[in-house]
Amino acid sequence: MYPNAFEYSAAASFKEAVARLAELGSEAKVLAGGCSLIPLMKLRLAEPAHLVDIGRVPDAAYMREVDGELRIGALTREADVERSPLIATRSPILADASSVIADPLVRNMGTVGGNLAHGDPANDHPAVMLALRATIVALGPEGERTIPADDFFIGLFETALEPGEILTEIRIPAPPTGSGGAYVKFERQVGDFAIAAAAVAVRLEDGQVADASIALTNAGPTVIRASAAESALAGRAPDDGSLRDAAAAARDEAQPWPDVRGNAEMKKRLAGVAVERALRLAIRRAAEGRA
């Protein structure tokens, strides 16, 4: 199908886009890579009267360290995350996720900001940002503000972005010594959304798990933090027993819906397996000093 008729304008800056959105009101939508919005418009599930294209805003696609903090511009394309030498050494969990988002064509266009702003619990970056305890930077009519990732995803396709606000940057704290992260996804076929997936970040100290941060993709109406799984692991040696306990706790916390990708029980079990496998990879990376 074709989208309904709509007006289009391209913004030369985020500030200009915010002003445009304020002028146009609720009938306008932000267009970034278009990899979610355009398919929804073609299915007539979204019928914005006006698109404000931010795709060509200059200096909005970057990955850089500022005082140890990793800053990712909203328009950074998935393919660039996937191939970035900085990400490979500083935060490989981000490349784990980008590399399993859709297919190369979509990864060349889809943006990290759009992946988060879309608010789809099946998207791969939300769990990663929870695991990394990231902060989202938003610019709106009232100026700039920051939102912890834990407070950003508030409902199915619903985020804490206010009407007229634009996600401009993602900030990821410097990983303390002994940190490691990983993202493991189960999908029916390459390019599909997750049947189940887990993002984990751990910090090892004196052979124990000093801190664990675990989040699940496609395990409920929003991305969820597996707090019981984190507690099952914290303060223990990263051995088979503690990893299996964390996986079992995550399995119980997952609340997936049955759909074409599987029934709820199967998805819960896979969520547990994803947590265990991601933890093993994260602990190995932490031991190798690869964040």
Positions that interact with ligand FAD (CB under 6 A): 29-37, 39, 74, 101-102, 106, 110-111, 113-115, 117-118, 120, 123-124, 161, 166-167, 191, 193
Distance of closest approach, residue 272 Cβ to ligand FAD, in angstroms: 21
In terms of CB distance, is 135 or 242 closer to ligand FAD?
135
In terms of CB distance, is 34 or 234 closer to ligand FAD?
34
In terms of CB distance, is 37 or 70 closer to ligand FAD?
37
Helices (H), 35-77: 37-42
Query: Nearest to residue 214, comparing CAs of 132, 124, 123?
Result: 132
Distance of closest approach, residue 146 Cβ to ligand FAD, in angstroms: 14
In terms of CB distance, is 126 or 272 closer to ligand FAD?
126
In terms of CB distance, is 102 or 279 closer to ligand FAD?
102
Distance of closest approach, residue 108 Cβ to ligand FAD, in angstroms: 11
Place of tokens 């019928």: 47
In terms of CB distance, is 249 or 278 closer to ligand FAD?
278
Give the span between the Cα atoms of 253 and 70, in whole angstroms. 30
Distance of closest approach, residue 40 Cβ to ligand FAD, in angstroms: 8
In terms of CB distance, is 30 or 247 closer to ligand FAD?
30
Give the span between the Cα atoms of 60 and 73, in whole angstroms. 5
Number of Cβ atoms within 10 Å of the Cβ of 131: 30
Distance of closest approach, residue 161 Cβ to ligand FAD, in angstroms: 6
Residue nearest to ligand FAD (CB): 114
Give the span between the Cα atoms of 199 and 70, in whole angstroms. 18
- Phi and psi at 51, nearest 5°, equal -105, 130
- Phi and psi at 24, nearest 5°, equal -85, -20
- Cα 201 vs. chain centroid, distance in angstroms? 14
Distance of closest approach, residue 52 Cβ to ligand FAD, in angstroms: 9
b/e for 178-198, b at 16 or more Cβ within 10 A?
bbbbbbbbbbeeeebbbbbbb
Distance of closest approach, residue 97 Cβ to ligand FAD, in angstroms: 8
- Phi and psi at 66, nearest 5°, equal -125, 115
Q: Which two tokens stand for residue 240?
A: 């088979």
- Phi and psi at 47, nearest 5°, equal -135, 60
